[in-house]
A and B are shown apart, each in its own frame.
Chain A
Amino acid sequence: MSDVSAQIEAASPGAVVAEFEHVGELTVEVQKERIVEACRALRDGPSQYVLLSDVTCADFPHEPGRFRLAYQLTSLATGARVRLRAWAGALDPEIESVTSVWPGANWMEREVYDQFGVRFSGHPDLCRILNPLDWEGHPLRRDYPIGGEEVQFSDAV
């Protein structure tokens, strides 16, 4: 149990589900209902993770949670980085927005919504940011067709 997990547990008991460490990078998996409390605890805690570097998502169609969000946090005082991980759910994926903690999460969450369809409750302006506004579908999901044209003569040897 690293001190990051300890800080989260102190602020919101039972939030931390698991913890992973790989090549010097720490990843803490939290429950999606407690994400805002966990983020606030880390931002205001001793390490002061004041910078939200990115909010990203990955689609795992065979997992029960399906959309695995990753919040990359950076501490400007210590230079430490940590990743918070939360599963958003397969049917009607939704998670609370962290724009109340870091305003910079606004466009990052819009991008996740645009490409994956994960809704962020409490987001001030949740709409598409990359694709045209009348686009149908969420392109980075695994079941979205790759698109493009069939390349001619690719079967020729």
Chain B
Amino acid sequence: MALIPPPGAPIRRSPRTDDHIDWDLRDPLTAEVSKGLLTTTVEKAIAWTQTSAIWPATFGLACCSIEMMHTLSPRLDMGRFGAEYFRGTPRQSDLMIVAGRLTQKMAPVVRHIYDQMLEPKWVISMGACASTGGVFNNYAVVQGVDKILPVDVYVPGCPPRPEGLMEGIDVLRKKIGVNGQVTSTELIAQRRAERAEWDKQHAAELEALREMSAGHDVLQAGDAPEVEPVVAEAQAEALAAAEARAADDDAEAPRA
């Protein structure tokens, strides 16, 4: 009846279809060997051209499409990556950004449009509904677009901020292999290592900072200053000043 399995059934996702998408995650030996060959340069060039002009197919289904439009707006210009040219026909596009809820009724249509796209093609699943069904865990919504399409990048959020979608496109570009750069996961690990290195080098300064803030971050029970008398005093003062002003006004009032 539907693409939703009964509760308790194992949850299966569709497998990757294109091996060449993970081409820069090959085992290190192959990667090292291929670096010395001329074909690697050609592959990198091709990958660079592919990443520089990813033409998405318009596939905004629901609310996430608004944030996708914001990513096109001048503030976060998707055109910087050559991706502002949203094609109306899937036959001329490389990327399908599934933005929004996918209903059971729409599922065969999406699959049909995906099949009409030419290789190489990529899919970004934007938002919680496209990734896992989001808040709509019911009979009408397909629980994740990866039930029917192979997805390359998931962008979580409800809706994800336009910067989030921008990072999703950035991750996709790294996945395709722009300029032979490392993928996003390796980049994160690299940065984490760099930060740890910096912490070790500047350990003395960090220690001094911690010394300064010692005792200030946690307020003990006996340390709380007496607030009430001070506040009461200030209030009494303000009241007296207001009364004085009122008395002055009354004195001046019978003028007209």
Contact = CB atoms under 8 A, between A and B. Distances in A.
B104 A148 contact: no
Contacts of B9: 150
Contacts of B105: 131-132
A150 B8 contact: yes
Contacts of B45: none
Given A131-B105, A132-B105, A149-B11, A144 B4 contact: no
B63 to A, nearest CB: 19
A146 B138 CA distance: 6
Contact of B7 (A132, A135, A139, A150): A150
Contact of B140 (A131, A150, A151): A131
A148 B1 contact: no
Interface in A99-151: 131-132, 135-137, 139, 144-151
A149 B5 contact: yes
Classify chain B: how many residues form its interface, as a range.
Answer: 10 to 19
A147 B9 CA distance: 12
A144 B140 CA distance: 12
Classify chain A: how many residues form its interface, as a range.
Answer: 10 to 19
B33 interface: no
Given A131-B105, A135-B1, A137-B1, A149 B143 contact: yes
A147 B4 contact: yes
Given A144-B139, A148-B143, A136 B133 contact: no
A118 B11 CA distance: 35
A150 to B, nearest CB: 4
A101 B179 CA distance: 69
Given A131-B105, A132-B105, A139-B139, A147 B8 contact: no
Contact of A145 (B104, B133, B139, B140): B139
The main secondary structure of chain A at its interface with chain B is: loop
Contacts of A151: 137
Nearest to B108: A132
Interface string A14-54: 00000000000000000000000000000000000000000
- The residue among B9, B137, B141 with the most chain A CB atoms within 10 A of its own CB is B137
A144 B139 CA distance: 9
A147 B2 contact: yes
Contacts of B133: 148-149
- The residue among A131, A132, A139, A147 with the most chain B CB atoms within 10 A of its own CB is A147
A149 B4 contact: yes
Contacts of A136: 1
29 contacts: A131-B104, A131-B105, A132-B105, A136-B1, A139-B139, A139-B140, A144-B139, A145-B6, A145-B139, A146-B137, A146-B138, A147-B2, A147-B137, A147-B138, A147-B140, A148-B133, A148-B136, A148-B137, A148-B138, A148-B143, A149-B4, A149-B7, A149-B133, A149-B137, A149-B143, A150-B8, A150-B9, A151-B137, A152-B11
The 6 closest A-B pairs by CB, nearest first: A148-B137, A147-B139, A150-B7, A149-B143, A132-B105, A136-B1
Interface of A: 131-132, 135-137, 139, 144-152
